[in-house]
């Protein structure tokens, strides 16, 4: 089985993002970059699946030269090889999906696993668009029957079940969990509770340096990267105003009714 | 819980590190956050080291990281240093465990041992399946190890060891001990190293109780009552005080980095604290005296990091000297201890409670200040280097 996974280079979610004074762009200078945590879950899942069923895990990332670092991280976790689409352009989800569709044409994986979203733009679209372009089934927000504390997670069992050419996905939906069976090949996007990614060990970080990492360009894939989504302006979320401590329930109700007018 | 520290942005120390160096640091950092910080307080209270983590440390490649062959990861000195920094951000006891295993036990076997000893011990030690301890210090000989009285007398195909060692990290949990003893004369030149295995007749260990420092680490006394050690367990390449000192030089290198981690843990904790804590209607962070302390500590941490990075580069270029290592150990541990004390003060009453990591680090650093050559001994080493005059004796 061949699994294609994505590993996006994103700004560190533990650090505060800086916005250019005119609101036109984000300041990335001096920022720390990490792999999108949902993508790490995707790599972990792919590794567990190939451990159970055999096969190969290919890591894909589109981004600047430094995005190779995030691919290396996937390789250090245990993936077999990497593909780096080299570009300095800002990519929207649609461009990424069209790039991935081309890579899928070449690689012919049985499964593509992506993070449900990336923690920088939180778009939550690439997986769905990719499934659309490919005409494949999709299972988004993949989770697990039992939580991260369960014995299956501890035994590092995959959360996706593959049987008779179908992949069974437990999805996190509003009311709870939904289990669906997808015909393979298929696209799956990961939610937080699918697994807990392994630690990259120091020896594996060293071994990853020797793994194959191919660089490709958008031109060679024949994909036009011009964005369909235009970024108009960036701004800080409004600052939260300080809360008030009230002395009784009656005052609370009075305030909610008369000052905030949120209850009748 | 102290937060992972991603280098000092102000001086772009991160930019001095390679991609793999950062990856190693971040990976060890995550391991410490998830596997160590949740349990350290209980172990500190109980005065225990979570020995079950030994194999996990091995799997992560944190035991004998910079050694090559025999199942060792073969990391660069700089990468190894960064790993030690992250471990000590967790606790000096955790870093001590890795230092003793890698630098003080695996290193002498790797450097001075026979092929048979290397094959027998190194792969299992790298995996954390066998634990080592390093016996140099004696009850009456600390800063002056050359004066040791432990003896090894050749008898047929064995050596017979008698004597006592004290303040030995991991002593009572170790499967093997690297023991330094004098063969023949009382001269320091007759010091040689032996691998003594647990269970050899006449070899016993006991715990040092009542420590206020390095509590999440086992400290022991070792007793050798005419222990017969086969001559094959002699570390054949050893001879004189230089041999154990070469091991200490490896460990001190890791300590120089590690101390920075302990300082970072205290600093980030205090920084968060003073931003949150309000007195006189304002956050503590808004007072000039508090800001002065922060500025001072931060500057010292950055300087210590730069010292470590350059030390690592020298080590990787094969140019590092023991005096350079002494300078970094001396400066960085002293810096960390001062930072820990200042942070302790800044946390007020909370600074003495173990809900915060600061007092624990502060107490630990008292040991780190003393072991592997006390602060003053390193001062004398630098003094000798500068003047050509030894002030030891
Ligand atoms: C927690 C812990 C773990 C340890 N683990 C190990 C281990 O695993 N293996 C091991 O072999 N040892 C270990 N040690 C021992 C450690 O290395 C010694 O404690 C250290 O070398 C100092 O020796 P000492 O305690 O005998 O102090 P002393 O040598 O008696 O020194 C006491 C004081 O006198 C000062 N002093 C000594 N000589 C001079 C001089 N010539 N001029 C000026 N000042 C001087 C010292 O700086 C110090 O301040 C450990 C110690 C601790 C606390």
For residue B141, report the distance from its CA to the centre of ligand 1, in Å: 8
CA-nearest residue, atom 24 of ligand 1: B142
Predicted pLDDT of residue A33: 87
Radius of gyration in angstroms for the set of CA atoms belonging to chain B, rounded to a whole number: 21
Q: How confident is the model at residue B1 (pLDDT cuts 50, 70, 90)?
A: very low
Quick: pLDDT tens for B105-124. 999 999 999 999 999 999 99
pLDDT at B3 over 80: no
10-residue averages of pLDDT along chain A (264 residues): 97 85 86 92 98 97 96 97 96 96 97 96 95 98 84 87 94 92 97 94 94 96 92 88 88 91 86
For residue B61, report the distance from its CA to the centre of ligand 1, in Å: 30
Instruction: Please compute the mean of the pLDDT values over residues B80-85 and round it to a whole number.
Output: 97
Predicted pLDDT of residue B306: 95
- Helix (H) or strand (E) holding B392, with range, is none
CA-nearest residue, atom 6 of ligand 1: B168
The verdict on a CB contact (< 8 Å) between A206 and B59 is no
pLDDT at B147 over 90: yes
Please list, in sequence order, all residues whose beta carbon lies within 8 angstroms of the beta carbon of residue B375, skipping any fewer than 6 positions away: B330, B333, B334, B369
Please list, in sequence order, all residues whose beta carbon lies within 8 angstroms of the beta carbon of residue A199, skipping any fewer than 6 positions away: B27, B30, B31, B34, B60
The answer to whether residue A203 neighbours chain B at the CB level (below 8 Å) is yes
Predicted pLDDT of residue B2: 32
Instruction: Delimit the CATH 1.10.540.10 region(s) of chain B.
Output: 9-126
For residue B251, report the distance from its CA to the centre of ligand 1, in Å: 15
Long-range contacts of B76-79, Cβ-Cβ distance < 8 Å, separation of 24 or more: B76/B21, B76/B312, B76/B316, B77/B253, B77/B312, B77/B315, B77/B316, B77/B320, B78/B17, B78/B21, B78/B309, B78/B312, B78/B313, B78/B315, B78/B316, B79/A202, B79/B20, B79/B21, B79/B24
Write down the CATH number for the domain with range B132-233. Answer: 2.40.110.10
Predicted pLDDT of residue A237: 86
Query: Residues enclosing ligand 1, CB less than 6 A?
Result: B 100, 134-137, 142-143, 167-169, 214, 219, 367, 370-372, 374, 376-377, 380, 392
Instruction: Delimit the CATH 2.40.110.10 region(s) of chain B.
Output: 132-233
The answer to whether residue B62 neighbours chain A at the CB level (below 8 Å) is yes
Predicted pLDDT of residue A31: 79
Of A32, A72, A76, the CB nearest to B6: A32
Separation of alpha carbons B356 and A250, rounded Å: 39
Q: How confident is the model at residue B48 (pLDDT cuts 50, 70, 90)?
A: very high
CA separation, residue B213 to residues B49, B338, B364 (Å): 13, 16, 5
Nearest to B346 by CA among B305, B280, B299, B297: B297
The answer to whether residue A209 neighbours chain B at the CB level (below 8 Å) is yes
Using an 8 Å CB-CB cutoff, list chain B residues near A33.
Answer: none
Q: Which fold has domain B9-126?
A: Butyryl-Coa Dehydrogenase, subunit A; domain 1 (1.10.540)
ipTM: 0.89
**Which of B13, B18, B20, B67 would you mutate first to test chain A, the one with the most A CBs within 10 A?**
B20
The answer to whether residue B9 neighbours chain A at the CB level (below 8 Å) is yes
Quick: pLDDT tens for B333-380. 999 999 999 999 999 999 999 999 999 999 999 999 999 999 999 999
pLDDT at B9 over 70: no
User: Which residue of B lies nearest to A201 if distances are taken between CA atoms?
Assistant: B60
Total Cβ atoms within 10 A of residue A34: 22
Of A30, A72, A209, the CB nearest to B9: A30
Q: Which fold has domain B242-387?
A: Butyryl-CoA Dehydrogenase, subunit A; domain 3 (1.20.140)
Query: DSSP of B8-40, one letter per residue?
Result: -GGGTGGGGS-HHHHHHHHHHHHHIIIIIHHHH
Phi-psi region of A135 (alpha: psi -120 to 50; beta: other; left: phi over 0): left
**Atom from ligand 1 closest to the CA of residue B211:** 1
Write down the CATH number for the domain with range A2-236. Answer: 3.40.50.620
B372 counts as catalytic: yes
The answer to whether residue B65 neighbours chain A at the CB level (below 8 Å) is yes
Quick: pLDDT tens for B289-328. 999 999 999 999 999 999 999 999 999 999 999 999 999 9
Residue A48 token pair: 């567990």
């Amino acid at each position: 089985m061949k699994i294609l996974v994505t590993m996006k280079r994103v700004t560190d979610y533990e650090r505060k993002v800086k916005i250019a004074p005119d609101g036109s762009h984000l300041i990335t200078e001096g920022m720390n970059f990490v792999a999108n945590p949902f993508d790490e879950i995707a790599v972990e899942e792919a590794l567990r699946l190939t451990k159970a069923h055999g096969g190969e895990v290919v890591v894909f990332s589109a981004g600047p030269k430094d995005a190779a670092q995030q691919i290396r991280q996937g390789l250090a976790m245990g993936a077999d090889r990497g593909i780096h689409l080299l570009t300095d352009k800002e990519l929207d989800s649609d461009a990424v999906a069209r790039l991935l569709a081309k890579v899928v044409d070449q690689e012919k994986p049985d499964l593509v696993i992506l993070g449900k979203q990336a923690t920088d733009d939180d778009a939550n679209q690439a997986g769905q668009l990719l499934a659309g372009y490919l005409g494949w089934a999709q299972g988004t927000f993949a989770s697990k029957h039992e939580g991260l504390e369960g014995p299956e997670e501890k035994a590092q069992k995959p959360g996706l079940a593959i049987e008779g050419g179908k992949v069974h996905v437990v999805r996190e939906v509003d009311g709870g969990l939904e289990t669906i069976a997808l015909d393979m090949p298929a696209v799956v996007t990961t939610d937080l509770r699918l697994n807990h990614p392994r630690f990259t060990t120091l020896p594996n970080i060293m071994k990853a340096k020797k793994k194959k990492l191919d660089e490709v360009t958008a031109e060679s894939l024949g994909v036009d990267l011009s964005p369909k989504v235009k970024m108009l302006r960036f701004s800080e979320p409004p600052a939260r105003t300080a809360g008030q401590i009230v002395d009784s329930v009656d005052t609370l109700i009075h305030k909610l009714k008369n000052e905030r007018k949120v209850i009748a | 819980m102290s937060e992972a520290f991603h280098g000092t942005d102000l001086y772009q120390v991160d930019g001095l590190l390679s991609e793999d160096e950062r990856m190693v640091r971040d990976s060890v950092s995550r391991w410490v956050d998830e596997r160590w910080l949740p349990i350290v307080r209980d172990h500190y209270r109980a005065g225990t080291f979570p020995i079950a983590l030994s194999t996990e440390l091995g799997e992560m490649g944190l035991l004998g990281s910079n050694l090559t062959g025999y199942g060792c990861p073969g990391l660069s000195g700089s990468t190894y240093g960064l790993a030690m920094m992250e471990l000590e951000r967790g606790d000096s006891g955790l870093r001590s465990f890795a230092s003793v295993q890698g630098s003080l036990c695996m290193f002498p076997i790797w450097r001075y041992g026979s092929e048979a000893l290397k094959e027998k011990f190194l792969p299992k030690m790298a995996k954390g399946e066998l634990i080592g301890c390093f016996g140099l210090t004696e009850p009456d000989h600390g800063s002056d190890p050359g004066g040791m009285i432990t003896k090894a007398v050749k008898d047929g195909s064995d050596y017979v060891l008698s004597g006592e060692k004290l303040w030995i990290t991991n002593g009572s949990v170790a499967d093997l001990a690297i023991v330094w003893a004098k063969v023949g004369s009382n001269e320091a030149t007759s010091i040689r190293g032996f691998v003594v295995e647990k269970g050899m007749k006449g070899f016993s260990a006991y715990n040092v109780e009542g420590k206020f420092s390095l509590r999440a680490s086992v400290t022991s006394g070792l007793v050798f009552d005419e222990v017969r050690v086969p001559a094959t367990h002699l570390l054949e390449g050893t001879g004189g005080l230089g041999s154990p000192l070469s091991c200490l030089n490896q460990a001190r290198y890791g300590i120089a980095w590690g101390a920075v981690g302990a300082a970072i843990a205290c600093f980030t904790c205090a920084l968060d604290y003073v931003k949150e804590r309000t007195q006189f209607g304002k956050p503590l962070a808004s007072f000039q005296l508090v800001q002065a302390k922060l500025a001072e500590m931060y500057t010292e941490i950055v300087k210590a990091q730069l010292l470590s990075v350059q030390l690592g580069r020298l080590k990787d270029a094969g140019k590092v000297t023991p005096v350079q290592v002494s300078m970094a150990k001396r400066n960085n541990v002293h810096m960390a201890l001062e930072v820990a004390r200042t942070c302790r003060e800044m946390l007020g009453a909370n600074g003495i409670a173990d809900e915060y990591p600061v007092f624990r680090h502060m107490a630990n650093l008292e040991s780190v200040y003393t072991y592997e050559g006390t602060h003053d001994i390193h001062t004398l080493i630098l003094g000798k280097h500068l003047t050509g005059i030894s002030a030891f004796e």
